[in-house]
Amino acid sequence: VTEKESLESLIQSEMPQLETQLILNLFRKRVSAEELARKMPRLGYPQIENQVYITLLVQLDNLGDREPSDKDVLLLAINKIVEETIPEQQRMLPIILNDNTQATILILAGKSAQEMRKQVLDHATLLIQNVKEYLNVSISIGISTAYDNLLESKEACEMSKQALHHRLNLGKESIIFYEDISMVISGPVLLHYPAELESKLFDAIRIGDEEQVYHTVHSLLAEMMTKNNHSMNFEVLLVRFVNNLIQLEQLLGIEVLLTQDNHALYHRLLDIRNPEEIERMLLEQVIFPMVKSMKEKTNQQFRCLSEKIAAIIRAEYDQELSLELIGDRLHYNPNYLSSIFKKEYGTTFSEYLMGYRLQMSKKWLVETDMTIKEIAERLQYHNSQNFIRSFRKKEQVTPGAYRKMKQAN
């Protein structure tokens, strides 16, 4: 009985985390109908007749007088304000969806479409007021259409994201219903946005790699155009891309686009109908100036980070090491660390690590009585044959032959 009570208490204390995970999985479309039916009553959500849902997304328009590093704290504070502003029985648990977005699934029942819209608008208006009052920052809110099955939450989330992209035309503190802009957006709701290419481009901007930037921009724009056939879809994604560039600048602390004529930039881009001209304008007027600023800003930072990585290798070469582990320790993306390390040292992290381990193995072969197997295990090789192959590839002799040769000398 005691164990059961303890388990029930543990489950109860973990309910917010379990509910958060369920909502995240809904937005990622990773929940089955059976799992949802089992978990909703357990989390205190009884099924009500004629119940519908609306996804509400909140993003910051600006950071006020705060630093970019304060964004996480601001989103947590906004999440708390949502909890306190919207009655518990009218929503699911508010969550932080990603680095830029707070998300809430509203629960509505027994109302007409007009009544629901007014209720949601009231919630959104009050949220903007409360955030402005308590945090002194402005937010915009994107609102999906109503849906009657929670398994459609991912599509609803995409609707709200698309709505938020239109705040660029409407200004800060916008409340945007997807149904109001759906006539503008032609084609499917889930527009294809090349997020992986964008991430690759942003990494290249950070390290000041002009050649990589040029090729990646070309690929990114080509994918936008070929996989979103209607020109209106491409324009929506182009505005999103420029908005993300501005957010990157805010994060990096550089000033290329952060001017009063950003609005004119959007219009100039959207007025251009020649894909090559769009690419040229983005590169010459926006992206290459960002690369130049980053080169000037980060050369010293690159050297410092690369030296830190090399120092970790020299100190911990006989332990399990990877860029993922070092990235977690230094709070950097491992792909980013890989790029700057190669730029500074002219070799990859793996090659440098293997080279240093082989250098130490040569020292041990000459100065100690350790066996080949012991040396291989200490240098984190899974078996001695892998070590022997790596050693022979680098030195053109086996470890045993190298030891005999040095001893003979």
Domain residue spans in the chain?
10-181, 195-297, 351-408
Residue with tokens 């690159």: 302
Can you tell me the distance from the alpha carbon of 119 to that of 222, in angstroms, rounded to the nearest whole number? 42
The three-class DSSP label of residue 92 is coil
Place of tokens 């990773």: 30
- Worst-scoring range by mean pLDDT, 30-34, 191-195, 251-255? 251-255
pLDDT tens string 167-184: 655 567 888 888 887 655
Whole-angstrom distance, CA of residue 247 vs CA of residue 402: 55
E-assigned strand segments in 331-405: none
Q: For 351-408, CATH number?
A: 1.10.10.60
Radius of gyration in angstroms for the set of CA atoms belonging to the chain, rounded to a whole number = 27
Mean pLDDT of all residues belonging to the chain: 85
Least confident of 2-11, 13-22, 269-278, 332-341: 2-11
Which pLDDT value is given to residue 9? 67
The proportion of the chain whose per-residue pLDDT surpasses 70, expressed as a percent, equals: 88
At residue 189 the predicted structure's pLDDT band, cuts being 50, 70 and 90, is very low
Q: Is the dihedral of CA 239, 241, 242, 248 positive or negative?
A: positive
Q: Which tokens is 11 given?
A: 């489950």
Tens digit of each residue's pLDDT (9 = 90 or more) over 364-401: 999 998 999 999 999 988 888 999 999 998 889 999 99
Considering Cα of 126, then 183, then 267, then 211, what sign does the dihedral take? Answer: positive
Question: For 280-309, what is each residue's pLDDT tens digit?
Answer: 888 988 899 888 888 777 677 778 889 999
The answer to whether the CB of 92 falls within 8 A of the CB of 107 is yes
Query: Which two tokens mark 245?
Result: 């560039």
Chain Cα centroid distance, residue 57: 16
Decide if 348 contacts 391 (C-beta within 8 A): no
The answer to whether the beta carbons of residues 403 and 388 sit under 8 Å apart is: no
- Sign (positive or negative) of CA dihedral 296, 297, 299, 300: positive
CA distances from 346 to 198, 294, 338, 390 (A): 25, 20, 11, 20
Q: What is the DSSP string of 9-36?
A: HHHHHTHHHHHHHHHHHHHTT---HHHH
Q: Which two tokens stand for residue 237?
A: 């994604």
The backbone region for 44, taken as left when phi is positive above 0, alpha when psi lies in -120 to 50, beta otherwise, is left
pLDDT, tens digit, 9 for 90 and up, residues 82-104: 999 999 999 999 999 988 899 99
Is residue 108 within 8 Å of 51, Cβ to Cβ? yes
How does pLDDT run across 139-166, given as a tens digit for each residue?
A: 989 999 999 999 999 999 999 988 887 6
- Alpha carbon distance 308, 305 (integer Å): 5
Identity of the residue numbered 127: L
Phi-psi region of 331 (alpha: psi -120 to 50; beta: other; left: phi over 0): left
Determine contact, residues 336/324, Cβ cutoff 8 Å: no
For residue 140, give the 3-state DSSP assignment: strand
Q: Which of 71-80, 154-163, 270-279, 319-328 has the lowest average pLDDT?
A: 270-279
* Confidence (pLDDT) at 279: 87
Distance, CA of 141 to chain centre: 20
Give the fold, CATH level 3, of 10-181: Alpha-Beta Plaits (3.30.70)
Helix (H, G, I), strand (E, B) or coil at 47: coil
Please give the Cα distance from 235 to 240 (Å, whole number). 9
